[in-house]
C-alpha cells in the first residue's frame, strides 16, 4: 500500500462529512468491502456540490498567500464571493427545488439533497465567516498601510462628514424610494442580490401610520463604492461605501420619525433558467421572458449585517420563507463583490501582477497571410502566454478576402461588440455566407448572446440556435476558400471560448489547421448542427453526445489492458471538472490494473484518490493561480505511441451526454511534446497546486526541504513571454 493509500475496511471515507459532523449512512464505510470491489459503492464518490464548495475554499485560500500581490489577493477574496453567489443561485437552488417538489435525486455518492443542504450550510457558514475575518484582519489593514482605505463612518473627519452629507443630498436621496411597511404597502419584491436596508422607526407619519418598519432599497444605478476627493483626505486613495452614506443619513428619508436602527441585507434568489424544449416554439422569445424572471426567483439565502437584531433577522426570514440555516450574518458589506473597483485599481502596479505581452509563434511573426502559413503547417497556441490575436486576425482576413466564400462558427461566450462578432458582421455585409451557431443558454451570458445574435442577423448572417435541449459548447470555426479550381478548408478548434478578454485570463489551447480530414469532420459537425440527418462518420474528431464518451472509455480500458499485460501504462487528464460516473469507474478499473493516473482537475472532482485496492494509483491535483486553468487535455501513453486530444469538454454527465462537444487529436510530434511538457509542469507545480485526499479535503503542502519551488504559470510566462512574475 502506498503512503497515500487508504484502506476502506479500516477508515471512514466521507468528504461529505466535515470534521465534527455526523456521517450519512450512505457514506458509512465501517462495513467491510468484498475483495471484488463494487465500483458502484457510494463511498467511492464525492458529492458534486460539496466538491464545488471545496474549490471555492481553495480560491479563498489564495487571499492568504503572501507570495501573491495584495490587490490580487483581494481579487481572490472577491472571486470567492462571486463563486458563492452563483453556487447558491444555481446549485443550492436546484437542491432546494428537489426537496420542495419531493423529487430528490440521489447521485452516485448516495447523499440525498436534504442531507447535502445541511452539510453545505455548515461549510458555507464557516467559510463565509472566515472570508470576512480575512478581509477585516488581513486585507483591509494591509491596503490601508499602502494608502488604500475604505473609511468607515466612525472614522470620518468633520470635512468628510460634510462632503458625505452633500453627496447624499445631491446624488443619493433623490434616487431613493423608502417603503414603509403597512397593510397598503406590503413587503416589496426585491431584486436578486440587490442591496437593501431594513429600518426600525418610531412615531406616526403624516397619514397616521405607525407600523414601525420600512425597507430602503439602494438604487441599483449608484456605485456601491465612492472615492472621496483628495482635498478632504490625508493622502492615498480613500473610499466610502454607499451603505455607509445611507446609514449615516437614513433619518433624512423619514422626516419627523425617529430612526431606531438601520441594517443592510441582501437576498439571493434562484437564478437558473427553466425552459421546457417541448413547449418552446421560439427559443429567443422564451429566453427573453425567462431572463426577467431570473431577477425574482425563489429565495435561497439571506445575508444581513451581524449587528442586525435577532427579531428583525427572523422577520426577514419569514418574509422570504427561509430557515434559520439559510441566514448569514456578516461582519462587513453584504455585497462584497462591489469592491472589485479597488481590486482593479491601476495606480498601484506594485500591488498587482506585473503586466506581460503574449508571445507569437515564430511562424506567425512576420506574415500577413495566415492562410499561407496554416496551409503549410498546423499552428498550436497556448493562451494567454501566446496571443489570441491570430484567431481574430484569421477571421478578419477571411472577412475581407475575396477568395473566402463561407465562414461558420460556434459562439458560446463572447460579447456582442467583440472583434470576433465585428469580423463576422463585416463578412456577412461583404456578401460571404456566414453561419453562426449561437448558444443562447450559456448561463449568465444569455442576454449578451441574444444581442449578438440579433446583430448578426441584421448584418445578413444565418444564425442558428443549435439543437433544442442540447447546448452547443464546442469551440470551432470553419472557413472555405477558393484556391484555383479547389475549395480549401481552414479550421480553428479550441478548448476555450471566442472571447478576447478571457483569452488574457484563462489558459486554453487553440489549433489552427488545414488538415483535410479534420476540416471535413468540422464541416460534418456543422452540418449536423444546422441540418437534419443521422450521425455522420468522422475520421478524427470525437464529438459528444455521440462518439466522445465511448471513445474515452475505450482509451482508458486500453491503458488498463496494457498494464495487465505488463506494459507501461499511464493516463494524464487535465480538466475543469470530473463527475461522470462511468468515466470515474473506468479510471478506478485502470488504477486497479496498475495504470498510473494523474488528474489535473481545477474544480469539481467526484473521484476519490488514494483508496487502497481501488485508486491508490490515482493522484488528483488542482492548480489555482494568476490564470484560470481552463484547458482540457486527454493524454494516453498507448504503449509508446501517445494519443493526445484537446477538448471543449469536461468529463461531466452534461458535457458528455447533453452537449455538443469536440475533442480533436494532436498528431504532430513537436506539438505533442509541447503539450506533454506543459502537463509535466502542472504535475511538478508546488506553489499553486493542492492535492485531493481520499476524505475529499485538499492539502497544499509546501515544497519539501531542498526541493526547488516550481510555479507552473510563472515558468510558462518566463519561458514563452520572457516575463518576470514578481514572486
∠ CA 147-153-158, nearest 5°, is 85
Domain edges within the chain: 45-146, 150-347, 367-537, 544-721
294 marked as binding residue: no
367-537 to CATH, choices 1.20.120.1200, 3.10.20.90, 3.90.1640.10, 3.30.870.10: 3.30.870.10
Is residue 350 classed as helix, strand or coil in its secondary structure? helix
The residue whose grid cell reads 422564451 is: 286
Enumerate the β-bridge partners of residue 449.
none
Which is nearest to 60 in space by CA: 85, 36, 45, 79?
A: 79
Q: Are the C-beta atoms of 592 and 556 separated by less than 8 Å?
A: no
Outline where DSSP puts E strands in 602-688: 618-623, 628-629, 632-636, 643-647, 659-665
* Backbone phi, psi, residue 464, to 5°: -115, 140
CA-CA distance, 724 to 673, in Å (whole number)? 24
**630 belongs to an annotated ligand binding site:** yes
Q: How many other C-beta atoms lie within 10 A of the C-beta of residue 536?
A: 14
Report residue 183's pLDDT band, with 50, 70 and 90 as the boundaries: low
Cell reading at 23: 456521517
Cα distance between residue 419 and residue 422, in whole Å: 5
Tell me: is residue 413 an annotated ligand-binding position. yes
Q: Do domains 367-537 and 544-721 have the same CATH topology?
A: yes
pLDDT of 34 above 80: no
Confidence of residue 14 (pLDDT cuts 50, 70, 90): very low
| 632-676 pLDDT, tens digit each | 999 999 999 999 999 999 999 999 999 999 999 999 899 999 999
**For 480-500, what is each residue's pLDDT tens digit?**
999 999 999 999 999 999 988
Mean pLDDT computed over 239-261: 94
Compute φ and ψ for 618, nearest 5 degrees: -110, 130
Half-sphere exposure of 617 (CA within 13 A, CB side): 20
Q: How confident is the model at residue 15 (pLDDT cuts 50, 70, 90)?
A: very low
Question: To the nearest whole percent, how much of the chain has pLDDT over 70?
Answer: 89
Between CA 398 and CA 370 the distance in angstroms is 9
Query: How many percent of the chain have pLDDT more than 90?
Result: 74
Q: Is the pLDDT of residue 4 over 70?
A: no
Instruction: Reply yes or no on whether the pLDDT at 578 is more than 90.
Output: yes
CA separation for the pair 502, 506 (Å, rounded) = 6
Find out whether 103 is annotated in a ligand binding site: no
Mean pLDDT (whole number) for 708-726: 87
Q: Looking at residue 532, what is its pLDDT?
A: 77
Which position has the higher pLDDT, 22 or 370?
Answer: 370
What is the pTM for the complete model shown?
0.90
Give the CA distances from residue 354 to residues 75, 625, 647, 718, 727, in Å, rounded to whole numbers and listed in that order: 15, 14, 30, 12, 10
658 is in an annotated binding site: no
Q: What is the pLDDT of residue 450?
A: 77
Whether residue 645 has a cis bond before it, omega within 30° of 0: no
Joined grid coordinates for residue 705: 526541504
The pLDDT mean for the chain works out to: 89
Q: Report whether 652 contacts 573 (CB < 8 A).
A: no
- Residue 263 annotated as binding? no
Q: Alpha-carbon distance 614 to 39, whole Å?
A: 8
For 693, counting Cβ atoms within 10 Å of its Cβ (0-12 exposed, 13-18 middle, 19+ buried), the class is middle
pLDDT at 141 over 80: yes
Residue 271 above 50 pLDDT? Answer: yes
Residue 383 falls in the annotated catalytic set: no
- pLDDT of 279 over the 50 cut: no
Residues near 717 by Cβ (< 8 Å), separated by ≥ 6? 356, 385, 723, 724, 725
Coil, helix or strand for 270?
coil
Structure confidence at residue 453 as a pLDDT band (50, 70, 90): confident
Q: Of 47, 247, 473, 543, which one is the catalytic site residue? A: 473
Cα–Cα distances in angstroms (integers) from residue 352 to residues 103, 298, 715, in the given order: 48, 39, 18
Q: Mean pLDDT throughout 226-238?
A: 93
Higher-confidence residue: 271 or 89?
Answer: 89
Mean pLDDT of 309-318: 96
CATH of 45-146, one of 1.10.1060.10, 3.60.20.10, 3.40.50.10860, 1.20.58.310: 1.20.58.310
- Rounded CA separation 690/702 (Å): 10
**Alpha-carbon span 142 to 223, nearest angstrom:** 24
b/e string for 465-476 if b means 16 or more Cβ within 10 A? Answer: bbbeebbbbbbb
Cell numbers given for 92: 443550492
User: Average pLDDT for residues 291-319, to the nearest whole number?
Assistant: 87
Q: Is the pLDDT reported for residue 379 higher than 60?
A: yes
Residue 81 · residue 131 · CB < 8 Å? yes
Region 16-25: mean pLDDT is 37
DSSP 467: B
User: What's the CA gap between 214 and 258, in Å, rounded?
Assistant: 12
Model pLDDT, residue 514: 97
The pLDDT assigned to 69 comes to 95
Q: Looking at 88-97, 285-294, 403-412, which range is the least confident one?
A: 285-294
pLDDT score at 462: 92
For residue 398, is pLDDT > 90?
A: yes
Q: Grid coordinates representing 43?
A: 463511498
pLDDT band at 35 (very low <50, low <70, confident <90, very high): very low
CATH number of 544-721: 3.30.870.10, 3.40.50.300, 3.40.50.720, 3.30.530.20?
3.30.870.10
d(C-alpha 624, C-alpha 713), whole Å: 10
Q: Is 147 left (phi over 0), alpha (psi -120 to 50) or beta?
A: left
- Inter-helix orientation angle 70-86/113-134, to 10°: 160
pLDDT given for residue 208 in this prediction: 66
567: left (phi over 0), alpha (psi -120 to 50) or beta: beta
Residue range 680-716, pLDDT digits in tens: 999 999 999 999 999 999 999 888 888 899 999 999 9
What is the per-residue pLDDT for 64? 95
CATH number of the 150-347 domain: 3.30.1840.10
pLDDT at 207: 62
Amino acid at each position: 500500500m502506498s503512503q497515500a493509500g487508504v484502506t476502506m475496511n479500516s477508515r471512514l471515507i466521507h468528504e461529505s462529512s466535515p470534521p465534527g459532523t455526523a456521517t450519512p449512512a450512505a457514506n458509512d464505510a465501517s462495513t467491510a468491502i468484498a475483495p471484488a470491489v463494487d465500483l458502484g459503492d457510494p463511498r467511492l464518490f464525492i458529492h458534486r456540490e460539496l466538491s464545488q464548495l471545496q474549490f471555492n475554499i481553495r480560491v479563498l485560500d489564495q487571499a492568504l498567500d503572501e507570495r501573491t500581490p495584495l490587490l490580487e489577493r483581494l481579487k481572490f477574496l472577491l472571486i470567492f464571493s462571486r463563486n458563492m453567489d452563483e453556487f447558491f443561485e444555481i446549485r443550492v437552488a436546484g437542491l432546494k427545488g428537489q426537496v420542495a417538489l419531493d423529487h430528490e435525486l440521489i447521485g452516485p455518492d448516495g447523499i440525498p439533497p436534504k442531507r447535502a443542504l445541511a452539510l453545505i450550510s455548515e461549510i458555507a457558514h464557516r467559510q463565509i465567516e472566515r472570508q470576512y475575518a480575512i478581509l477585516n484582519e488581513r486585507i483591509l489593514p494591509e491596503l490601508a498601510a499602502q494608502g488604500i482605505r475604505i473609511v468607515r463612518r466612525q472614522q470620518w473627519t468633520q470635512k468628510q462628514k460634510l462632503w458625505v452629507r452633500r453627496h447624499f443630498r445631491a446624488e443619493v436621496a433623490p434616487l431613493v424610494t423608502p417603503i414603509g411597511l403597512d397593510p397598503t404597502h406590503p413587503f416589496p419584491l426585491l431584486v436578486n442580490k440587490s442591496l437593501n436596508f431594513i429600518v426600525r422607526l418610531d412615531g406616526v407619519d403624516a397619514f397616521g401610520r405607525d407600523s414601525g418598519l420600512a425597507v430602503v432599497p439602494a438604487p441599483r444605478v449608484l456605485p456601491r463604492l465612492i472615492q472621496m476627493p483628495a482635498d478632504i483626505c490625508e493622502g492615498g486613495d480613500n473610499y466610502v461605501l454607499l451603505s455607509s452614506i445611507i446609514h449615516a443619513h437614513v433619518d433624512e428619508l423619514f422626516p419627523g420619525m425617529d430612526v431606531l436602527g438601520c441594517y443592510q441585507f441582501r437576498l439571493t434568489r434562484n437564478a437558473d433558467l427553466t425552459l421546457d424544449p417541448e413547449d418552446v416554439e421560439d427559443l429567443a422569445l422564451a429566453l427573453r421572458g425567462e431572463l426577467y424572471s431570473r431577477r425574482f426567483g425563489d429565495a435561497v439565502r439571506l445575508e444581513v449585517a451581524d449587528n442586525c437584531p435577532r427579531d428583525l433577522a427572523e422577520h426577514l426570514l419569514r418574509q422570504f420563507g427561509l430557515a434559520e440555516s439559510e441566514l448569514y450574518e456578516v461582519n462587513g458589506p453584504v455585497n462584497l463583490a462591489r469592491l472589485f473597483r479597488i481590486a482593479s485599481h491601476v495606480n498601484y502596479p506594485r500591488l498587482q501582477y506585473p503586466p506581460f505581452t503574449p508571445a507569437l509563434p515564430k511562424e506567425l511573426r512576420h506574415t500577413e497571410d495566415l492562410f499561407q502559413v496554416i496551409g503549410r503547417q498546423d499552428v498550436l497556441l497556448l493562451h494567454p502566454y501566446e496571443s489570441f490575436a491570430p484567431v481574430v486576425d484569421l477571421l478578419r482576413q477571411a472577412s475581407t478576402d475575396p477568395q473566402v466564400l463561407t465562414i461558420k462558427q460556434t459562439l458560446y461566450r463572447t460579447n456582442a461588440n467583440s472583434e470576433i462578432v465585428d469580423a463576422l458582421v463585416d463578412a456577412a455585409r461583404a456578401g460571404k455566407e456566414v453561419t453562426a451557431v449561437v448558444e443562447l443558454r450559456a448561463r449568465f451570458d444569455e442576454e449578451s448572446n441574444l444581442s449578438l445574435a440579433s446583430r448578426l442577423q441584421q448584418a445578413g448572417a444565418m444564425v442558428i440556435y443549435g439543437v433544442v435541449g442540447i447546448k452547443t459548447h464546442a469551440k470551432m470555426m470553419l472557413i472555405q476558400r477558393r484556391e484555383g479550381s479547389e475549395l480549401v478548408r481552414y479550421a480553428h478548434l479550441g478548448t476555450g471560448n471566442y472571447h478576447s478578454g478571457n483569452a488574457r485570463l484563462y489558459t486554453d489551447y487553440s489549433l489552427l489547421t488545414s488538415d483535410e480530414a479534420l476540416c471535413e469532420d468540422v464541416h460534418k459537425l456543422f452540418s449536423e448542427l444546422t441540418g437534419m440527418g443521422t450521425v455522420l462518420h468522422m475520421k478524427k474528431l470525437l464529438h459528444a453526445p455521440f462518439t466522445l464518451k465511448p471513445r474515452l472509455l475505450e482509451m482508458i480500458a486500453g491503458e488498463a489492458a496494457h498494464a495487465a499485460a505488463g506494459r507501461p501504462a499511464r493516463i494524464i487528464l487535465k480538466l475543469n471538472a470530473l463527475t461522470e460516473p462511468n468515466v470515474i469507474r473506468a479510471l478506478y478499473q485502470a488504477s486497479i490494473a496498475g495504470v498510473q493516473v494523474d488528474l489535473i482537475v481545477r474544480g469539481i472532482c467526484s473521484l476519490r484518490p488514494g483508496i487502497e485496492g481501488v485508486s491508490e494509483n490515482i493522484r488528483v491535483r488542482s492548480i489555482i493561480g494568476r490564470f484560470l486553468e481552463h484547458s482540457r487535455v486527454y493524454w494516453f501513453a498507448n504503449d509508446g505511441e501517445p494519443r493526445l486530444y484537446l477538448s471543449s469538454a469536461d468529463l461531466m454527465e452534461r458535457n458528455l451526454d447533453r452537449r455538443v462537444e469536440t475533442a480533436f487529436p494532436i498528431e504532430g510530434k513537436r506539438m505533442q511534446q509541447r503539450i506533454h511538457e506543459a502537463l509535466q509542469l502542472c504535475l511538478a507545480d508546488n506553489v499553486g497546486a493542492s492535492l485531493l485526499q481520499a476524505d475529499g479535503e485538499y492539502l497544499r503542502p509546501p515544497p519539501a526541504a531542498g526541493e526547488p519551488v516550481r510555479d507552473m504559470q510563472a515558468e510558462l510566462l518566463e519561458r514563452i513571454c520572457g516575463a518576470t512574475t514578481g514572486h
